[in-house]
Structure 1
Amino acid sequence: MIKRIIAQTAGVAVLGAAIAASAQAAEFNLKMHHFLPAKAPAHAKFFQPWADSIEEASEGRIKIKIYGSMSLGGKPPQLVDQVQDGFVDIIWTLPGYTPGRFPAISAFENPFMVTDAYETSQALQAYYEANPEVQKEFADMHPLAFWTHDRGVVYSKGDAIDSVADFAGKKIRNPSRPVAAALDALGATPVGMPVPEMPQALAKNVIDGTVIPFEIVPALKLHELVDNAVEVQTEDGRGLYTAVFLLGMNKAKYESMPADLQQIMDDHAGMYFAKLGGEFFKNAENFGRKLIDENATRSQMPAAEVKKMQEATANVPVEWVKEMDGLGLPGQKLLDSANAMLEKYSK
């Protein structure tokens, strides 16, 4: 009888501990929202392990549930408002999806402002941390980190776009205003659209091609929709373009956390995350290349044409500086800072 009572008491204690642990685990249940499907490598192999690491470090007090494919509603350009309004707690998006809203962070979206994702992501994060003007743009949220994808590639249906002349008259999808300006300077017709709209636009011939990294090929099945992929790289390793990514958190939610949990979020953010994201996006290029090689034609733009492209787009950053100046921002200072950071973090 006594043994039975002891066993029952022990069982109650274990159950009580389990209930307490469960309650602790529910302290901060965060919703993260983004635009790619859950099967995308970035969702399953990057963001999910990152969320799991935070849960482990917080001993279950922070749990992040990730929702892909805009499954909580809205369109990709609305993600910024969703996190600022508290509809969701964390977002992954591109500031370029809301043109004109975050102008200073777009310095890295000017032509030939990328080496590879790992180096450029660190340069971008350092640029944000070094410039109050850039930080001010994100005052209505708590930015966790910034990073970029690898060198953008020029994809096309039909013939390869492997010279400056080949851009003339082509309708090419672009991710941001600086990239649109570069495509326009090359004679193409830029068509702005978020990533999820791209496959249908290609299938229905709304666009003739797109600029995007290899990393996104598997998620969009881009290898089934294009015939050619042309890599653009200068002699010093710079690519045609990259896009700025933002991992943003609701400001009130972050501030509601106790200091120890804020520290855990901080430990998984900033330069730590920029390195992590940059490395993942750089390495993720390989599978996309493989799919293109199996289903389409991959080639390198000739060096002479790359130089022509640099010359043709040389005025884009000049105009970017003027635009920043017109907005009351120190355009040349910001561009110089971006270039200095890219040089610092490039090997």
Structure 2
Amino acid sequence: MNTLKSAALAALLGLTATNAFAQEVTLRFQHFVSPKSANPTYFIGPWAEKVEKDSNGRIKVELYPFMQLGGKAPSQYDLIRDGAIDGGWVIPGYQPGRFPEAEAMELPFMVTKSGEEASKAAWIFTQKHLMDDFRDVHVIAAHMHGPGLVHKKGPAVQTVEDFNGLKLRGPSRPATLLLKEVGATPIGMPVPAFPEALSKGVVDGGVITWEMSPSLKLDELTDSHTDVAGDKSLYNLYFIWAMNKDKYNSLPDDLKAVIDANSGFFASAWAGRAHDIGDKDGKAVMAAAGNEISTLSESETARIQGLGDTVITNWIAEVTSKGLDGATLVEDARAAVAVTRDVSGREY
């Protein structure tokens, strides 16, 4: 009997040990969009799967879309910092003025229309200027989306004058500064609020990517979509994929290594590439709906770029007056964009 009891106890202990080894850590990551949109589909979900696989199942990553764990999209950074969630997707620009150095990457016509290239630049710039700004969290990736463009009710924008009087949603301070400069009335709001604002007539349209268009039902809520000419984006948005610092530090070294192996330049490029894939899908949905798809002429694009240069000049003066070196931030952002055209990330 004692032998049987010992065998049963040993089996139980062995099973318990195996289970503990198989899943040592559960990480709860949160984001604010549909799980069917591009970044969750092509980056966040696959990233979670890869971390689980690379850890041999010792890390389980739970993903919560639509802020299901609580809070609002603008508070995401603080939720991660405070440990309310283990990690998540953050748009620093949703808290205007808090992370002013990050705005350099979001200035008009700063980055190319390739989300992957822009994201490589974002990581380089982040390493040089922003790690201290984000010292309260553990940054896994820093990235940009694909080209931002104008989506609106009614005919497509064709000239600078067509912006006059339009109430347009903007996602960040640099984007709203540009909208104001071209004559529109900018209304800052996070992406989850955009569809309702459109349906209720609070805005006439807004600036956002192709890839977010289907999940926001812009094929139904808008009639036209206008991009600028050339290979530079009208505007862009800077993101980080981040983790609670204490949670990261609590991991054993071998599991920290798993997170580290799925971080940095590689992960940033992967996140940007997800947006590029989504942009193709989103544009196809808008075209299939019969919506007007337009590109501004080179001459009108040049006019807007000139107004964008005014935004950049004013931005440099503003942040310099607050103690930052605005000119160097812009110079380093442009340098990061230039060098990434010659930099290859590893396969993903």
Distance of 1:21 and 1:269 partners within structure 2 = 28
Distance of 2:300 and 2:123 partners within structure 1 = 31
Can you list the C-alpha shifts for 1:306-327, whole angstroms capped at 9, x where unaligned?
A: 0111112211111221222122
The residue identity in structure 1 corresponding to 2:179 is L
SS, match of residue 242 in structure 2 = strand
Distance of 1:331 and 1:220 partners within structure 2 = 35
Matched, 1:322 2:320: no
Distance of 1:151 and 1:63 partners within structure 2 = 33
The residue identity in structure 2 corresponding to 1:86 is G
1:19-98 aligned within 5 A? 19-98=16-95
SS, match of residue 118 in structure 1 = helix
The residue identity in structure 2 corresponding to 1:48 is G
Can you list the C-alpha shifts for 1:321-346, whole angstroms capped at 9, x where unaligned?
A: 12221222111111100001111113
- Verify the 8 A CA contact 1:120 1:346 in the aligned structure 2: no
- Verify the 8 A CA contact 1:41 1:219 in the aligned structure 2: no
Distance of 1:77 and 1:289 partners within structure 2 = 27
The 1:17–1:298 alpha-carbon spacing in structure 2 relative to 1, beyond 3 Å, is: farther
The 1:233–1:93 alpha-carbon spacing in structure 2 relative to 1, beyond 3 Å, is: farther
Can you list the C-alpha shifts for 1:189-215, whole angstroms capped at 9, x where unaligned?
A: 110000011011111111011111101
Which residue number corresponds to residue 142 of structure 1?
A: 138
The residue identity in structure 2 corresponding to 1:91 is G
How far 1:278 sits from its partner (Å)? 1.3
Can you list the C-alpha shifts for 1:250-306, whole angstroms capped at 9, x where unaligned?
A: 111111112221111111111011111111111111110111101111111111100
1:125-274 aligned within 5 A? 125-131=123-129, 134-234=130-230, 237-274=231-268
Distance of 2:178 and 2:15 partners within structure 1 = 58
Figure out how many residues of one structure are paired with residues of the other and give that number. Answer: 338
Moved more, 192-201 or 257-266: 257-266
Moved more, 9-18 or 24-33: 9-18
Which residue number corresponds to residue 122 of structure 1?
A: 120
- Unpaired segments of 5 or more residues in structure 2? 343-348
The 1:203–1:259 alpha-carbon spacing in structure 2 relative to 1, beyond 3 Å, is: same
- Verify the 8 A CA contact 2:38 2:275 in the aligned structure 1: no
Distance of 1:69 and 1:290 partners within structure 2 = 24
- Verify the 8 A CA contact 1:35 1:93 in the aligned structure 2: no
How far 1:13 sits from its partner (Å)? 7.3
Which residue number corresponds to residue 3 of structure 1?
A: none
How far 1:21 sits from its partner (Å)? 3.0
Which residue number corresponds to residue 275 of structure 2?
A: 281
- What percent identity do the matched residue pairs reach? 38
Distance of 1:166 and 1:32 partners within structure 2 = 41
Which residue number corresponds to residue 306 of structure 1?
A: 301
How far 1:14 sits from its partner (Å)? 7.3
- Unpaired segments of 5 or more residues in structure 1? 1-7
1:335 to 327, 330, 339: 330
Distance of 1:11 and 1:46 partners within structure 2 = 44
How far 1:175 sits from its partner (Å)? 0.6
Can you list the C-alpha shifts for 1:35-87, whole angstroms capped at 9, x where unaligned?
A: 01223332244211111110111112211101010111111011111001000
Distance of 2:268 and 2:45 partners within structure 1 = 16
How far 1:162 sits from its partner (Å)? 2.3
Distance of 1:345 and 1:44 partners within structure 2 = 25
- Scaled by the length of structure 1, the TM-score of the pair is 0.92
